[in-house]
Amino acid sequence: MESITKNRQSLDTLRAMVARAYGPDAVPDGDAWVEELGNGFFNVVYRITLANGRQVALKIAPPSDVEVLTYEIGAMRTELEALRLITAHTGVPVPVVDHADLLHDLVDVDYFFMPYIDGDNLGVLRDELGPSDLGTYQAALGAANRELNTILGPAYGPITAPTYPTWRAAFTAMFDDVLDDGRRRSVELGWSYDDVRAVLTVHEHLLDDVTEPRYVEWDLWEGNALVRDGEVVCIIDHERALFGDPLIEVGFAGLVSSAFGDSAAFLRGYGRGPLTESEEVRRRLYTLHVGLVMTIETVYRGHTDKDQYDWARECVDEVMTSLTRGRPAA
């Protein structure tokens, strides 16, 4: 996916980055040692073959002069903290950080190196899989997500600065931030911004049912899973992690919105039953929020293809209709 947030670098700069991370002897000759990996939607990621033949991946944050959504500011440092927490507290397979550079002298943004993981992206592979094999992978993602949610945080909010005393305070701040982002760039939602905010006001008391700040991956979908030989070998892209309500995980979205497909295999792997009435309304609020994010980010990322925008607008309309008329969204 093309995006103006992808911070591509020259070969000379990449050589300097490799030398700092792995030493001057690791810098390869020629120009055939680097390949951009194209599945990401936000950061640029390169596969690099070092002089000794070892393959690594380099992830670079967006250019400092490109405006991003409020919650995306400092996203790479969120990912680095997420990787630390996951490695320390779970057995979920995630990348090892070989070298993180936050100095901003070689490039004016954060970046980090990690080993290159040999695996297929499940989001790309899924159309080639039969229902049984796809369901097995989805169940494995559910089990991994449950393990991630066992990590407890000190408060609610971004994992680098969990400062909110309640989940209601944290989520309403997240919701208001994305609405402010949309207003700032005059993004058309299909509903007035005031009407969207009013829906949250009506239902936000239900957020107080959440009483533990748990680690939330939030973005654990098939496109962030690498698989090989029938197993999930790595979960990638952790820059959206926060401490909050596990029900906000995208794997649960299909329970209330047809736009996100069938959540049955994910739920089987996660090991939980149907939602209560309160949980269903909370999940609708979370689906509305992610629909807003995915609508508004298309403007910030300079998308020329309207597919995501149109899909996300339909998602917003579906959930807003259900929350304003009391009808199920799916």
User: For residue 1, what pLDDT band results from cuts at 50, 70 and 90?
Assistant: low
Q: In this structure, how many other beta carbons lie within 10 angstroms of the beta carbon of residue 143?
A: 15
Average pLDDT of span 49-66: 94
Average pLDDT of span 76-97: 97
User: For residue 136, what pLDDT band results from cuts at 50, 70 and 90?
Assistant: very high
Contacts of 186 (CB under 8 A, 6+ apart): none
- Residue 47 has φ and ψ, to the nearest 5°, of -95, 125
d(CA 56, CA 116): 4
pLDDT in tens, 139-188: 999 999 999 999 999 999 999 998 999 999 999 999 999 999 999 999 99
Mean pLDDT of the chain: 93
d(CA 5, CA 75): 12
**C-alpha distances in Å from residue 16, one per residue of 5, 21, 183:** 22, 9, 40
CB 38 within 8 A of CB 22: no
pLDDT in tens, 244-298: 999 999 999 999 888 888 899 999 999 998 899 999 999 999 999 999 999 999 9
Q: Does the pLDDT of residue 330 top 60, yes or no?
A: no
User: Quick one: which of 139, 290, 276 has its CA closest to 210?
Assistant: 276
Average pLDDT of span 40-64: 92
Q: Give the per-residue pLDDT at 40.
A: 67
Q: Does the pLDDT of residue 128 top 80, yes or no?
A: yes
- Residue 220 has φ and ψ, to the nearest 5°, of -85, 80
Q: Say what the pTM is.
A: 0.93
Which residues, in sequence order, are bridge partners of residue 224?
Answer: none
